Amino acid sequence: MKKFLLHPMTITVGVIVVLSSLPFVMPSQDMAKWSDKELRETAISLNMLPVPKTYKEMLKVVDNPENPLTREKIALGKKLFFDTKLSRDKSINCATCHILEDGGDDNIPTAIGFSGRANPHHLNSPTVLNSALAKYEFWDGRAKDVEEQAGGPVQAPFEMNMTPKEVEDRLNKDSDLKDEFKKVFNKDRVVFGDVQKAIGAYERTLLTRGAYDEFLDGDDSAMSTSAKRGLTLFITKGCKGCHAGMSVGGQIIVKFPLRRYLEDYLGAILNPKLSIKDNPYPFENLGQYYGRDEKQFFREPILRNITKTKPYFHNGAVKDIKEVVRIMSKYQLGDEFNKKQIDDVVEFLKTLEGKIVEYR
């Protein structure tokens, strides 16, 4: 009996049983109960700030010293954002994959570009809305700002499939566009770097405001009781640790998933197709994409308008926002939310839906 109790397998199983039972034997902490004023002040203190209402305030938040915003540059960037000349067969533009009226993405699992080509890694399009508030762009965070990001899709063979020289040659043949570029950049020829700067300037103005911003501005009725509970959970459970800032995301590169569980490994043993090595995510590994340096590090998504940008995760494998919250609470926080908590967090996320501010 003593040998059995000291057997490594017995000890391992015992440890697992004890750890698994901790949530049931340890007293659970009650959720913080803040007044509306306290909740608002807490969110603001954590830099989860409201999006500015005016052009002047917007400039303080998103202007780029390396690409100073002007109204003329923004207008030129808007024109280019919707111009199909930037794609090889002139069939698509930036707005094809970034539908501004519907969350700023394309609402399909994988981006489709030039000649119907799909992203080879089954990556979907992140939202362009509020992306200027992020510190990193693309799923692996390889671009530092929207200006740098703007050059990527234009050149990708499975997106717009153009070279910088081809873009320059095509735009320099358009006398009207060439004149606009000269007025903005004071150059006799259009150069690709200025195309990126103009598009980036426009994208910097694509900020949205919604019920959450109204709540932060002092309107207690802008958010429901459930949404306020969701915001409280979001703060106290640790979601805000990654999804931070005015954009509520896009500020850090983080490993995903951070945790795996016994059932994940048991499932892999019972079904070799679910190998943790081959399928490291808690959903189908469509596209075999592993993030930065292939080490499962991703730029965590911007959560503004997240309820309008399904399907979710880098490969669009999950369609239900409630399932996303469950997965993230379990595999990132190590504290799987119950149904009521999930419902409350989703109600909070709905308050992050917003309309593009018209900075006149």
Contact 246, 49 (CB under 8 A): yes
What Å distances lie between residue 17 and 6, 11, 45, CA to CA? 16, 10, 40
Following CA atoms 299, 304, 307, 313 in sequence, which dihedral angle do they give, to the nearest 10 degrees?
A: 0
Q: What share of the chain is helix, strand, coil (3-state, %, to 5)?
A: 50, 5, 45
**Annotated catalytic residue 159:** yes
Catalytic option among 41, 72, 148, 159: 159
In a 10 Å sphere around its CB, with 0-12 CB exposed, 13-18 middle and 19+ buried, how is residue 17 labelled?
Answer: exposed
Q: Which of 57, 238, 80 is nearest to 146 (CA)?
A: 80
C-alpha to C-alpha distance for 70 and 201, rounded to whole angstroms: 8
Count the neighbouring beta carbons within 10 Å of the beta carbon of residue 50. Answer: 19
Q: Within a 10 A sphere around the Cβ of 120, how many other Cβ atoms?
A: 13
Instruction: Please give the positions annotated as active site.
Output: 159
